[in-house]
Amino acid sequence: MDYVRPSIAAMKGYVPGFQPDPWQKYIKLNSNENPFPPSPKVKETLQALTYEDLRLYPDPVSLELRKKLGALYGFSENQIICGNGSDDILNIIVRTLVQPGEAIGFHEPTFPLYRILGILHGAKVISLPMSEPYNQPPMPPPDLKIFFLANPNSPVGFGFPTALVAEMAQRIKGIFVVDEAYAEFGRENALELVRQLKNVVVVRTVSKSYSLAGVRLGYAIGHENLISEMIKVKDPFNVTRLTQALVAAALDDREYFQKTISQILETREWVTKEARALGYRVIPSQANFIFPRPPQEGKGVKFYEALFDRKVLTRYYDEEGLRDGVRMTIGKREEMIAVLQVMKEILPQFSPR
């Protein structure tokens, strides 16, 4: 007897980037992790905590952390919800808003979790294909319960101007979710739209920009009426005591945050220039990764394999519009020097004859 829902049995699940064993010596550029350690303030806070703290439940609503985030961006804590990574926040949004049969939408290529969440909750899934140069995306249809916009885009890295985001948000009757997992690496963000439009929700994470992927903290900023409904839906204790304390410490160290972001941006622009000089095609990125493609089209999987064989981990997507290249996280300068040398060595495999 088959106990599984047919939609789940037919669904392709989310596949995280390959996580190698610690002893395997790879240049790990496949999960968009920050190459630098967290703020020293995080280390100090971690050392000050005791194992006795772990016997107590965390604050179920992460109030102090929400106050700190609110002060940082100019919002009330009542406009913010915290979760176990931004994946948890996206799930809460869908659980709060979508009934079976209602429609959600997104552009493609994009973060694959949007589709998965729609299927999990029995939603009608509407995808709007985009193509290069990605500056004129299809406008979302009005009758959507949710539209997800990854901005900057993942896995390609381009960004949409705020004016265009506002135009898209005003076209739909439902909630317009701007997934800003990489916003700290970009030029623009949609936080001001939260103040202007009641249907805009911004989702962010500390995984990339604060080097805290291991503690799992995501948050959403939106209209307080919507946030209060989302708090009803979340798991009761969805953010651990450790996470709340360590993220609060990281948020306090603005100098370290700005220093590491600046280094990543500088390296990103340098790598982009050098890869293009070798002959690779690279779309300008607003994230902490790039999407290089060798000169020959349709060779993304071979490119991935050639890098993998030389101990460089990247991310390949076997999806329409993404099969020409790989997503490559920006690592430390010395790592990227080594990667560029590898890219130079394997380039003859992908050059037109």
Tens place of pLDDT per residue across the chain (353 aa): 477 777 777 777 767 766 666 656 899 999 999 999 999 999 999 999 888 888 999 999 999 999 999 999 999 999 999 999 999 999 999 999 999 999 999 999 999 999 999 999 999 999 999 998 898 999 999 999 999 999 999 999 999 999 999 999 999 999 999 999 999 999 999 999 999 999 999 999 999 999 999 999 999 999 999 999 999 999 999 999 999 999 999 999 999 999 999 999 999 999 999 999 999 999 999 999 999 999 998 899 999 999 999 999 999 999 888 999 999 999 999 999 999 999 999 999 987 66
**Cβ proximity of 174 and 144 under 8 Å:** yes
For residue 175, give the nearest of 109, 98, 78 by alpha carbon: 98
**Location of structure tokens 């948000």:** 169
Q: Is 221 helix (H, G, I), strand (E, B) or coil?
A: strand
First to last CA, the chain: 55
Reported as type and span, the H/E element at residue 193 is helix 191-196
Distance CA(347)–CA(100), nearest Å, equals 48
What pLDDT score does 50 carry?
81
Task: Indicate the fold that domain 6-37+255-350 takes in CATH.
Answer: Aspartate Aminotransferase, domain 1 (3.90.1150)
Buried-state track 226-244, b at ≥16 Cβ within 10 A, e below 16:
bbeebbeebeeebbbbebb
**Cβ proximity of 210 and 250 under 8 Å:** yes
Q: Is 208 helix (H, G, I), strand (E, B) or coil?
A: coil
CA-based torsion, 142, 144, 150, 153: positive or negative: negative
The number of residues making up the chain comes to 353
For residue 319, give the nearest of 133, 167, 150, 110 by alpha carbon: 110
Give the number of other Cβ atoms within 10 Å of residue 214's Cβ. 10
Question: For the chain, what are the domain ranges?
Answer: 6-37+255-350, 40-253
**DSSP H helical segments within 204-283, as ranges?**
224-233, 241-252, 254-278
Cis before 155? omega within 30: yes
What pLDDT score does 223 carry?
98
Residue 93's Cβ-count burial label (10 Å; 0-12, 13-18, 19+) is buried
What pLDDT score does 7 carry?
75
**Cβ proximity of 350 and 338 under 8 Å:** no
Longest dimension (CA), the chain: 66
For residue 155, give the nearest of 324, 35, 307 by alpha carbon: 324
Q: Is 88 helix (H, G, I), strand (E, B) or coil?
A: helix
**Cβ proximity of 184 and 156 under 8 Å:** no
Reported as type and span, the H/E element at residue 11 is none
Distance CA(21)–CA(229), nearest Å, equals 41
Beta strands (DSSP E) in 116-235 are 124-129, 146-150, 175-179, 200-205, 218-221
Tokens of 101: 């049969």
Class of domain 40-253: alpha beta
**Location of structure tokens 């948050």:** 219
**Location of structure tokens 């610690």:** 22
What pLDDT score does 22 carry?
61
What pLDDT score does 8 carry?
77
β-partners of residue 223 are none
Q: Is 75 helix (H, G, I), strand (E, B) or coil?
A: coil
